[in-house]
Chain A
Amino acid sequence: MATNPPPSAIQTVGLRKSFGDKVVLDGLDLAVARGTVFALLGPNGAGKTVTVQILSTLIRADGGQVRVAGHDVAADPGAVRRAIGVTGQRSALDDLLTGRENLILMADLHHLGRAAGRRRADLLLERFGLAEVAGRRAAAYSGGMRRRLDLAMTLIADPQIIFLDEPTTGLDPRSRRVMWDIVRDLVAGGVTIFLTTQYLDEADRLADRIGVLDGGRLVAEGTAEELKRLVPGGHVTLRFADAAALHAAAALFEPAPRDDEALTLQVPSDGGVRSLRVLLARLEDASIEVDELSVHLPDLDDVFLALTGRPRHEKVTTR
């Protein structure tokens, strides 16, 4: 036990990692306070999984410093491993073992002792709603059950810091909600959570702070509110029947961006009923006919567009 606990559960300075010519992490600086949830947000291929792999001692960094739970991952990986729990992107279960046997295997590998390990396994089965299927082989579990068992296995030895790599990717909405509730319970219990996700709403609901990873660095970091302020915001797209109407409307809503070919105009708006009513009234007063109207609210695509200059679904290529 450290008598003088360091302020951060996770801290990286100038973290670098390349695979051959491909630079994946290019000087990543992170600081995650104890007892908080940090979400690392990024498109596919941004380096989220590589970051988790380095922080969880799976692979070594090429450069920079990494401290997890107060220990240097390169110098003392054993101490880090005793303090962390990792749930990877794919459920890493033993399909030939039952749910209970999977948990007992984890308990044995953590040297919890026979009786204590079994008690802990049964407790977790109960807590994650798996008690009824505890005696069935993991191969027979549904996607949501596999995720829950996977997380239960991660929690077997009460880790201080938990890494969740895209914990809800591929889950149905109900299972996602269950996972979110579990994460909230864990945080209430004082653990630090480092999660990666592609979904802004997930980061929004769970995380105290969010980091946006692009090109191997953090391009933005802050609370969900702070990040949303960086986004240009919502808008209303107005489509007109002819160029004359578009011209008239453009003059009215200067400097809203217009598209002469599509005959559309993008008017900034929060998308609320009140502001829509005001917008329509202004058009009415000016006697401008609108063919079509659509409301667009800020989402992950906008965050990415704003922060990286690229839509989210475009694969990030690093230099």
Chain B
Amino acid sequence: MTALAHVLTDSGTMLRRNLRHAVRYPAMLTATIMTPVALLLLFVGVFGGALGAGLNEGRGGGDYIDYIAPGIILMAVTSGCMSTSVAVCVDMTDGIIARFRTMPVARASLLTGHVAAGVIMTSISTLAVVGAALLMGFRTSATAVEWLAAGGLLIALTFALSWVAVAMGLAAKTPEGASNTPMLIQFLPFLGSAIVPPDSMPGAMSAFAEHQPFTPLNETLRGLLTGGPIGDDAAISLAWCAAFAVTGYVWSRLLFRRDPSR
């Protein structure tokens, strides 16, 4: 077997194992779907009137759900990545990774198996959240091509954040810790343009919201799904995805090699 075939076979084995975990422990998938859906209900059903009215002053038109849905979909992606972080940490603390390391297993597969499973599971939870938003009245103007582009962007982000999540899982000492750190990323879209436009925020906050990675991602997604200008946000978004992916990958590799007895 060539080295590449070895990596692919073992990654496939690890992927099947991780997907089986996700099915056997559905609480994780449920949580990653329910959190964004609950927030959508809260913001649209409870705060929606006031927020929407405030938003429409001077802008005009459109339901509030159409403004917030792309941000919530983005949050479905960031939430999904949290489960990858926990899964990696559980593996490390269980001692099973140490067992794999004494076996003739392609090293790369131990982490790529988690990333692949993370991308698949997060795609499922994100689809579920998109479905929930549509059911709650989210109206999209997207054509098939725009849907495809939006899907591609979300998958790219999921892949990139999954590597960051793997690194966070490796860095965490306990699974509880591994579920806390990614929350910083999980709620980051809210400090961007997900709920309200950044220019409505106070000075320093507004500057942060304007330039943090999730604002161009949010604007690109919003542009694709509800129309409106995208401009260079698409390119900036892809650049952020690449930056996340590279950082997460390099960081993961460093951590994975740091303490091989785990």
A299 nearest CB across to chain B (Å):
31
**Minimum CB–CB distance for B106 against chain A, Å:** 9
- Cβ B10 vs Cβ A58 within 8 A: no
Q: Given A59, A90, A96, A106, which contacts B24 in the complex, CB threshold below 8 Å?
A: A96
- Are A58's CB and B102's CB within 8 A? yes
Q: Which residues of A contact B9 (CB under 8 A)?
A: 111
Selected from A78, A93, A97, the residue in CB contact (under 8 A) with B17 is A97
Q: Is the CB of B95 within 8 A of A90?
A: yes
Chain A: number of interface residues, binned into ranges: 20 to 34
Whether A84 is near chain B, meaning CB under 8 Å from some CB there, is yes
Give the residue name and chain of the A residue nearest to B1 (CB). A111
Residues of B near A93 (CB, < 8 A) are: 96
Partner of A53, one of B94, B104, B261: B261
Q: Which interface residue of B96, B104, B105, B260 has the most chain A CB atoms within 10 A?
A: B104
Complex: A159 Cα to B1 Cα, angstroms: 20
Within 8 Å of chain A (Cβ to Cβ): is B101?
A: yes
Contact A58 B101 (CB under 8 A): yes
- B13, CB-defined interface residue at 8 Å: yes
Hey, what's the 0/1 contact readout for B91-107 against A, CB within 8 Å counting as 1? 00011101111111100
A209 located at the interface, meaning its Cβ lies under 8 Å from any Cβ of chain B in the complex:
no
Q: A92 to B98, Cβ gap below 8 A?
A: yes
Inter-chain contact A96/B94, CB cutoff 8 Å = no
In the complex, A153→B25 CA distance in Å? 23
Q: Is the CB of A96 within 8 A of B13?
A: no
A108 and B104: CB pair below 8 A? no
Asked if B21 is at the interface (CB within 8 A of a chain A CB), the reply is yes
Residues of chain B contacted by A270 (CB below 8 angstroms): none
Contact with B along A57-86 (1 / 0, CB 8 A): 111000000000000000000100110101
Contacts of B94 in A (CB 8 A): 92, 94-95
Q: Is B20 an interface residue (CB 8 A)?
A: yes
By a CB distance below 8 angstroms, the chain B residues around A84 are 102
Instruction: Given A96-B20, A105-B13, check contact A78 B104 (CB 8 Å).
Output: yes
Contact A94 B10 (CB under 8 A): no
**Interchain CA distance A93-B13 in the complex, whole Å:** 16
The answer for the CA separation of A58 and B99 in the assembled complex, in Å, is 9
Which B1-57 residues have a C-beta within 8 angstroms of A? 1, 9-10, 13, 17, 20-21, 24-25
Which residues of B are at the interface with A, using a C-beta cutoff of 8 A? Answer: 1, 9-10, 13, 17, 20-21, 24-25, 94-96, 98-105, 260-261
The 4 closest A-B pairs by CB, nearest first: A92-B95, A92-B99, A86-B102, A81-B104
- A residues sitting closer than 8 Å to B (CB atoms) are 53, 56-59, 78, 81-82, 84, 86, 88, 90-97, 101, 105-106, 108-111, 137, 153
